[in-house]
Amino acid sequence: MQYISTRGGIEPVSFTEAVLMGLATDGGLILPRAIPRIGSETYTEWQELSYQELAFEVMSRFIDDIPEAELRNLIYSSYESFDSEEVTPLVHQGSLHIMELFHGPTLAFKDVALQFLGNVFEYLLEKNDSVLNILGATSGDTGSAAIYGVRGKERINIFILHPHERVSKVQEKQMTCVTDSNVFNIAIHGTFDDAQAIVKAIFNDLDYKEQQHLGAINSINWARVLAQVVYYVHACLHISSHENDKATDFSVPTGNFGDIFAGYIAKRMLPEGTIRKLLLATNGNDILTRMVQDGDYSLSEVLPTSSPSMDIQSASNFERYLYYLLDEDPNRTKQAMTQFAETGIIDLADFQDQIQRDFVAERATEDEVTTTIAEFYKEYGYVLDPHTAVGMHCVLRHQRKGIPVCCLATAHPGKFVETVEAAIGQSIERPESIQNLMGKESRCELMDADRNLIKEFVKKHAKHG
């Protein structure tokens, strides 16, 4: 399997080269040269597989430069820390199905991919006798999932910046209570935008980046998308056994387009008709909803909401879908993304028919999120977190009678206690892992939002081969 850039400026690379490259050197995103297709007979044979064995069958179609036994070991070790044997279990309510993606160590869907990516990084670094220093900025969830994905790994140090006193207590504790010697948390005086700007500026210093062996673990890495494809296939197999093999809709709360793009890949990969529709759900930060409904992919102000992981206007994974929308033409893709960087707008009105064949979209206001949490709890006794409630609102607006639909539950409600308890009018049980955090030792550096200070700190503590 060879991988290419959406902008066409690199020679084809292998999976392992793609993982280490992260962002293509021409500024594009990496994709497989072709999407493998799964025949009906093979798909049926997957019915009885465990999650780990299914992950191997799916991933091995995209990975041919890691030996089978070693790939299996990477997959199995990635999900040992999950508290569910099924990894991403499903809850069934008639023709409505909820896939719980929050059974990993940080109680968010990002664990599914980042546990795997952390292990792949470690494997490749050992194979190449090299080291990696991961540098990132977070508003909360990505930082903790990345830290848990690489904690204790001998060849990796991780440096995560977060805005001081601007993340939730749970998010802060999930990061700073990891005191492994290879983990460095840095709280800066400033905002998340300040932290992000520092990280981007450091990565743009190419000499420093090379000298300090810097790497990224964010959602543009193809390995993260691939790991998420697996749980769509897993859901389809389980739902088909409940629904007499009917085609399934998926509702996906998304802001960065990575999770729903994994669904798009799964839809193209599986036998035709396995996945019927992908329901794209956003909060008030609705650039993706506007793109689907009106062909309007244009920037607007980022609004703070109760579903902060989706408070995004420029979706970093959208370029991958745009490449397919533009008939896999790297020149047109590069031109469109250059235009977006300059103007903040891509006009996709001429592509509405195709976009609406691929997606249905809906936005949820803050009032609608609160109402959805309250009404769903009243009817089913099931507690939704605010992000999942955005997805469920989309389900309730678009579900068709007799069509099974699966809503992705992307975070545990215990991570957003204030919003959830205000909606349902009663206390909820905190997961034991969150309760245990509150009394734990924490370690964090508090620094000014000065990139030179950050560069000095990273240089002092970086691993060198």
- Residues 404 and 243: beta-carbon distance below 8 Å: yes
Q: What is the pLDDT of residues 239-262, one digit of tens each?
A: 998 877 789 999 999 988 999 999
Residue 138, pLDDT score: 82
Give the pLDDT band of residue 167 (cuts 50, 70, 90).
confident
- What pLDDT does residue 400 have? 85
- Closest to 171 (Cα-Cα) out of 141, 201, 138: 141
Domain ranges of the chain: 86-109+221-421, 131-212+438-461
Average pLDDT, the chain: 94
Region 274-300: mean pLDDT is 96
Mean pLDDT for 262-280 is 97
Give the span between the Cα atoms of 379 and 104, in whole angstroms.
Answer: 27
Say if 86-109+221-421 and 131-212+438-461 have the same CATH topology.
yes
- The residue-averaged pLDDT of 426-430 equals 92
Residue 397 parent element (H or E)? helix 386-398
Q: What angle do CA 415, 416, 418 make, to 5 degrees?
A: 135
- The per-residue pLDDT for 139 is 74
334 counts as catalytic: no
CA distances from 10 to 27, 78, 306, 318 (A): 10, 30, 40, 20
The answer to whether residue 67 scores a pLDDT higher than 90 is: yes
Buried/exposed code over 211-236 (b: 16+ C-beta within 10 A; e: otherwise): ebbbbbbbbbbbbbbbbbbbbbbbbb
For 276, phi then psi, to 5°, come to -85, -60
pLDDT exceeds 80 at position 68: yes
Lowest-pLDDT choice from 134-143, 325-334, 451-460: 134-143
> What are the start-end ranges of the E strands in 101-213?
132-137, 156-163, 183-189
CATH tag, 131-212+438-461: 3.40.50.1100
Which of 187-191, 196-200, 208-212, 439-443 shows the lowest mean pLDDT across its residues?
Answer: 196-200
- The predicted model gives 53-62 an average pLDDT of 99
Q: Is CATH 3.40.50.300 the classification given to domain 86-109+221-421?
A: no
Please tell me which residue, 330 or 142, carries the higher pLDDT value: 330
AA letter at 93: Q
pLDDT at residue 439 tops 90: no
pLDDT (tens digit, 9 = 90+) per residue, 339-383? 998 999 999 999 999 999 999 999 999 999 999 999 999 999 999
CA-CA distance, 14 to 37, in Å (whole number)? 19
| Residue 102 pLDDT exceeds 70 | yes
pLDDT score of 315 = 86
Residues 6+ apart with CB under 8 A from 31: 3, 4, 5, 6, 222, 320, 323
Query: Residue 204's pLDDT band (boundaries 50, 70, 90)?
Result: confident
Q: In the prediction, which pLDDT does 312 show?
A: 82
CA pair distance 227, 198, nearest whole angstrom: 29
* More confident position, 155 or 309: 155
Q: What is the DSSP string of 186-218?
A: EEEES-HHHHHHHHHHHHH-HHHHHHTTEE--S
Residue 193, pLDDT above cutoff 70: no
Comparing CA positions, the residue from 115, 29, 7 lying closest to residue 315 is 29
Residue 273 has pLDDT above 90, yes or no: yes
Residue % of the chain over a pLDDT of 70: 100
Name the percent of the chain lying above pLDDT 90: 78
pLDDT above 90 (res 200): no
Residue 264, pLDDT above cutoff 70: yes
pLDDT for 393? 98
Q: In this model, does residue 191 exceed pLDDT 80?
A: no
> Looking at residues 323-340, what average pLDDT do you find?
97
Q: Rounded to two decimals, what is the model's pTM?
A: 0.93
pLDDT digits (tens, 9 = 90+) for 24-36: 888 889 999 999 9
**Residue 154, Cβ neighbours under 10 Å: how many?**
12
Q: Looking at the predicted structure, is the pLDDT value of residue 266 above 90? A: yes
pLDDT at 140 over 80: no
Mean pLDDT along residues 157-170: 88
- 122-408-88-67 Cα dihedral, nearest 10 degrees: -40
pLDDT of residue 165: 82
